[in-house]
Structure 1
Amino acid sequence: MTRFIAYRREWSANPVRELLAGAVATFALIPEVIAFSFVAGVDPQVGLFASFVIGIVIAFTGGRPAMISAAAGSVALVVAPLVAAHGLSYLLAAGLLAGLFQILFGVLRLGVLMRFVSKSVRTGFVNALAILIFAAQVPHIVHGGWLNYAMLAAGLAIIYLVPRLTTVVPSPLVCILVLTVGATVLKLPVMTVADLGRLPDSLPVFAWPSVPLTLETLSIIAGPALAIAMVGLLESMMTASVVDDLTDTPSPKNMECTGLGIANVAASLFGGIAGCGMIGQTVSNVKYGGRSRLSTLFAGVLLLVLMVVLKPWVSQVPVAALVAIMIMVSIDTFDWSSLRSLIVHPKMSSAVMVATVIVTVFTANLALGVAVGVLLSGVFFAFKVSALLRVEADTDEARGRLTYRVSGQIFFASADLFIDAFDYQDAVGKHAVIDLTHAHFWDITAVAALDRVLQRFKAHGVPVDVLGLNEASSTLIGSLDSSGRLREV
């Protein structure tokens, strides 16, 4: 009942504000979706069909209100080889299977894995995506001639100056309206949306992917489907986390996993490519007031209306207007404060952020960039924790006793430090005591390290007592000590 009340609240918001914000996100979607369709090797209508369906379905099934999801570049990069080798039908089948994988991940509650993505990785992800969004606009900027530059400058001027006069209508919409009317009335020879590729001329139609239901087909699509599922979920989870930070509200990540899976299944059954969260368009939506599911729904519905019902008018929108919007999105997406933080934050955290940006930008692979960032975060964390291990020796000559007081965490990264901290030669002729009151053993490597220490003392004829082992460490040793040598510890 509580979840139902919360869900209903996610639809209640200022309708005018939500519709206008969703409209801005829609126009920000058009050039990227068309561009990503070319990357995937399919007609623009395949990406647009997907974006219609995903936007509408995920408005009801997703976990993060105000998030915009559509056909995305990360997924396009993954599926391009499949399309080139086997064609569109296998792409649709792979998208269908990927959606089922994502539903399964949501049911298994794998959304909690986002806890392992550090703030540095998230910042690097956002900055890299902002750079990629801007880079995608460069071809439209450099190959358009002086008139294109003039249109682009006018568009940016409108976007950034109109808010000083009024915020009733989002300035990107004013930009589109003014530049479209101006280009049409003056008959300016500029590139328009119609020049980007074939646009839909009908509504998407439900159809099962025309592939043979055989094990061979499964072997062809299984790998790409799993890659689509993982990349899509990663980008969606990262985008949801960004919106969480922007709005100071939480969102159920497992519900987002399941919702994206359902949306991708629907998109594949209606002839569209699989998709995921779109951070640039989402940031744009949130910036202009989108807070509820209504803005997400309207973005999908408006895209459908624009591309099918109003196609003759939308076809006349100058590409320069859309490029201006995307430049604004990239500027707003980039975390400019992170540049200043590079010299303030710990060097390891800054290194993780920079590495995430570099890998993502140079490979154009968001999943790889985040994976490298998470890996480096784990390595640096393990290094920092292992460096906290301390072993202090205290000799009682009168009693012939040598006490080692151990403090810190003993695990795979600190096990060798633990072993090397003992002076086995100095302990000869004494009685050694290892005090573990302030230490904790975490894994089988730590247990093996303790066994190694005891065996080295034994080899030098030194009797050893182990004191202060906490209950959790004792239980771990009892379950992992296959040799039985540590049972009496």
Structure 2
Amino acid sequence: MSAHPPSKRLREFEPKTIAVFRAGYGLADLRADAVAGLTVAIIALPLAMALAIASGTTPEKGLHTAIIAGFLISFLGGSKVQIGGPTAAFIPVVFAVIEKFGYGGLILCTLMAGLMLIAAGLLRLGTLMKYIPQPVVTGFTAGIAVSIFSSQIKDALGLRMGQVPAEFIPRWAAYAKHIATTQPAAVALTLLGLFTILALRRWRPAWPGFLIALLLCTLVSAGFALPAETIGSKFGGLPSALPSFDFPHIPFERTRELLPSAFTIAFLAGVESLLSAVVADGMTGGRHRSNMELVAQGVANAASALFGGLPATGAIARTATNIRAGGRTPVSGMLHAAFLLAFMLLLAPLMRYVPLAGLAAILLIVAWNISEVEAFRHTLSAPKGDRLVLLLTFFLTVFFDLTLAIEVGVVVAAFVFMFRMAEAVEVQSGVRMIESDDDSGADPTQRARLPAGVEAFQISGPLFFGAASRLDDLLDQFRVPPKVFILRMRLVPVIDASGVHALEGLLERCQRRGITLVVSGLQPQPRRVLAQMRLHPREGALHIVPDFDSALRLADDLIAGTATQDRTS
């Protein structure tokens, strides 16, 4: 029996690939995984290039990310069908880091993010990711969608301008300044790409819309010699060679400055990968290993950086496509990376003709997909606190900084939660406070059960730091202090250190006024915490009894004892 728990802990960090091959992997599985891997690779090819260009770097870096990180995420991950690679969520933060610190700064950011993810997985923090408030996630993704949309205006309209500013307002000011340079050819290609993708989604949803739209835009652009900017005219030809180990100058002296961006990358990679794994579980009936998934994401991001790539994570849309195409095991994700490598080696000379307007059309659709308009609208009908968190996170993401948006969103959500919990904790007195512990519909005449010189109060709800201050002014409500004060806690399921501190403060005030404190109905968790923090019964000062009836009997005895002492004195 002693050997079982260690093996269970080890299995928590076992990649799904090992479990699949241990269970048996046959030719039918390989055939299904190969078809699914090819399908996902066809979708990922244009998307990887578009995401890299939108992030402010060259298209081959997106392909290298999808190949290196995509392979490792599937090979080491805790999900059987997860597909990894670059995603749209990284575009704003990667663009800002490259603009401010250069590509070497991004390498350092991605390396640090990888180490953070590995540490988070080894510390078993994977399960904590699910506690990120939904309004924060919805506001954040909607803000990223707006940022992606605004980043594509230059290529979608073919504006003749220099580097696009990273900040939202200066970016649109620059667009307005150069709007007269709009190229009709680029606008036409953008509209062609949008129409093709939307038409295929409506009438041929199983077809690879992104790839078909990009091929059509490329054929039209090259066939009619349209004056539209292409991958070749902006970046030159794509290298038709294997990704190589790349270690550019890394500004280690700016590590502290880059830590917030590294945290943002790690947060995005962790949350998006685990969300994708949860979606995959719902579609397949499987169960992912969240902590191993985080470790795999960390290794993949570190490797991607060292091979000249970008940050990577689990991609929800590509993972869902993998499942629908018949992918059964991590082999489909590994084959997806292999097919992408083959495409890059074979098709690199032709990719120079791809128009940037066609890639912009793809990213405009991606921005709409991740905007979660319905979820945003639905959250706007939530209580006021949730709406505040949603809108605050959204506006901070769009107008300021992704890291700031995450930090402020989570902190404000925590304060909203504390406020609600504090409101839910009711310190009550009067009729409702003296009902018997097994009867919630007590008769109002039960107040007569309280002996003279005895007062009773009841706390309903968790007694935590957000509500502990409610105990501070209880004794101030009495003109004549009672001799015995009964505090009913049968409706308190949880107490924390602040709650215990508040009880100690109440006990001290009672002692100063000569009041005996009686606590009744402690549940197991509060009883255990009080014992751990050494708040024990004290004769004549603090008594702990199992229920309200016992508290009343003790109060009678204490009052009688006091009266006897008075007569004796």
Instruction: Give the TM bin, normalised by the shorter chain.
Output: 0.7 to 0.9
| Greater CA drift, 407-416 or 436-445 | 436-445
Q: 1:403 to 1:156 in 2, by over 3 A?
A: same
Distance between the aligned counterparts of 1:266 and 1:82, measured in 2?
23
Distance between the aligned counterparts of 1:334 and 1:341, measured in 2?
13
What is the aligned counterpart of 1:187 among 208, 221, 225?
Answer: 225
Distance between the aligned counterparts of 1:300 and 1:18, measured in 2?
8
Distance between the aligned counterparts of 1:17 and 1:202, measured in 2?
25
Distance between the aligned counterparts of 1:423 and 1:362, measured in 2?
48
2:378 is matched with which residue?
Answer: 341
Distance between the aligned counterparts of 1:12 and 1:224, measured in 2?
48
| Greater CA drift, 54-63 or 183-192 | 54-63
What is the aligned counterpart of 1:23 among 32, 38, 42?
Answer: 42
1:484 deviates by 9.3
Q: 1:92 to 1:302 in 2, by over 3 A?
A: same
Does 1:269 pair with 2:306?
Answer: yes
The code of the aligned residue for 2:224 comes to L
What per-residue deviation string (whole Å, max 9, x for no partner) do you get for residues 67-94 of structure 1? 332384365257548845xx73x76466
1:67 is matched with which residue?
Answer: 83
1:232 deviates by 2.9
2:418 is matched with which residue?
Answer: 382
The code of the aligned residue for 2:47 comes to A
2:559 is matched with which residue?
Answer: none
The answer (yes or no) to whether the contact 2:270–2:297 under 8 Å persists in 1 is no
Distance between the aligned counterparts of 1:374 and 1:301, measured in 2?
39
User: Helix, strand or coil for the counterpart of 1:310?
Assistant: helix
1:76 is matched with which residue?
Answer: 94
What is the aligned counterpart of 1:238 among 261, 264, 271?
Answer: 271
Q: 1:82 to 1:320 in 2, by over 3 A?
A: closer
Does 1:206 pair with 2:222?
Answer: no
2:147 is matched with which residue?
Answer: 132
1:347 deviates by 2.4
The answer (yes or no) to whether the contact 2:142–2:370 under 8 Å persists in 1 is yes
Same amino acid, percent of matched pairs: 24
User: Helix, strand or coil for the counterpart of 1:437?
Assistant: strand
User: Helix, strand or coil for the counterpart of 2:49?
Assistant: helix
1:49 is matched with which residue?
Answer: 64
Q: 1:369 to 1:422 in 2, by over 3 A?
A: same
1:275 deviates by 0.9
The answer (yes or no) to whether the contact 2:193–2:213 under 8 Å persists in 1 is yes
What is the aligned counterpart of 1:34 among 53, 58, 65?
Answer: 53
Q: TM-score, normalised by structure 2?
A: 0.72
1:302-313 aligned at under 5 Å gives the runs 302-313=339-350
Does 1:448 pair with 2:495?
Answer: no
How many residues get paired?
Answer: 472
The answer (yes or no) to whether the contact 2:51–2:86 under 8 Å persists in 1 is no
Distance between the aligned counterparts of 2:33 and 2:345, measured in 1?
27
Greater RCO, CA 8 A, separation 6+: 1
1:311-390 aligned at under 5 Å gives the runs 311-365=348-402, 367-390=403-426
The answer (yes or no) to whether the contact 1:233–1:257 under 8 Å persists in 2 is no
The answer (yes or no) to whether the contact 1:283–1:329 under 8 Å persists in 2 is no
What per-residue deviation string (whole Å, max 9, x for no partner) do you get for residues 333-390 of structure 1? 222222441453222223222222222222352x433333222222111111111122
Does 1:457 pair with 2:496?
Answer: no
Q: 1:416 to 1:363 in 2, by over 3 A?
A: same
Does 1:197 pair with 2:235?
Answer: yes
The answer (yes or no) to whether the contact 2:197–2:210 under 8 Å persists in 1 is yes
1:229 deviates by 5.2
1:246 deviates by 4.6
Q: 1:164 to 1:454 in 2, by over 3 A?
A: closer
What is the aligned counterpart of 1:176 among 214, 235, 255?
Answer: 214
The answer (yes or no) to whether the contact 1:27–1:322 under 8 Å persists in 2 is yes
1:92-107 aligned at under 5 Å gives the runs 92=107, 95-96=110-111, 98-107=113-122
1:184 deviates by 1.2
Q: 1:299 to 1:14 in 2, by over 3 A?
A: closer
Q: 1:295 to 1:364 in 2, by over 3 A?
A: farther
User: Helix, strand or coil for the counterpart of 2:299?
Assistant: helix
The code of the aligned residue for 1:425 comes to F
Distance between the aligned counterparts of 1:347 and 1:6, measured in 2?
47
1:308 deviates by 4.3
The code of the aligned residue for 2:91 comes to G
| Greater CA drift, 370-379 or 293-302 | 293-302
User: Helix, strand or coil for the counterpart of 1:187?
Assistant: coil
The answer (yes or no) to whether the contact 1:342–1:350 under 8 Å persists in 2 is yes
Does 1:160 pair with 2:198?
Answer: yes
1:415 deviates by 1.1
Provide structure 1 residue ranges, at least 5 long, that are not aligned to the other structure.
Answer: 212-216
What per-residue deviation string (whole Å, max 9, x for no partner) do you get for residues 424-475 of structure 1? 5335254322222222452222112112222223333333322223332233
The answer (yes or no) to whether the contact 1:95–1:225 under 8 Å persists in 2 is no
1:214 is matched with which residue?
Answer: none
The answer (yes or no) to whether the contact 2:517–2:542 under 8 Å persists in 1 is no
2:485 is matched with which residue?
Answer: 432
The answer (yes or no) to whether the contact 2:38–2:339 under 8 Å persists in 1 is no
Distance between the aligned counterparts of 1:178 and 1:26, measured in 2?
15
The code of the aligned residue for 1:103 comes to I
1:283 is matched with which residue?
Answer: 317
User: Helix, strand or coil for the counterpart of 2:456?
Assistant: strand
Q: 1:327 to 1:73 in 2, by over 3 A?
A: closer
What is the aligned counterpart of 1:391 among 427, 431, 444?
Answer: 427
Distance between the aligned counterparts of 2:204 and 2:310, measured in 1?
38
Distance between the aligned counterparts of 1:420 and 1:265, measured in 2?
55
> Alpha carbon RMSD of aligned pairs, Å?
3.5
1:146 is matched with which residue?
Answer: 184
What is the aligned counterpart of 1:473 among 503, 510, 526?
Answer: 526
The code of the aligned residue for 1:178 comes to L
Distance between the aligned counterparts of 1:235 and 1:391, measured in 2?
41
Distance between the aligned counterparts of 1:91 and 1:156, measured in 2?
31
Distance between the aligned counterparts of 1:339 and 1:78, measured in 2?
25
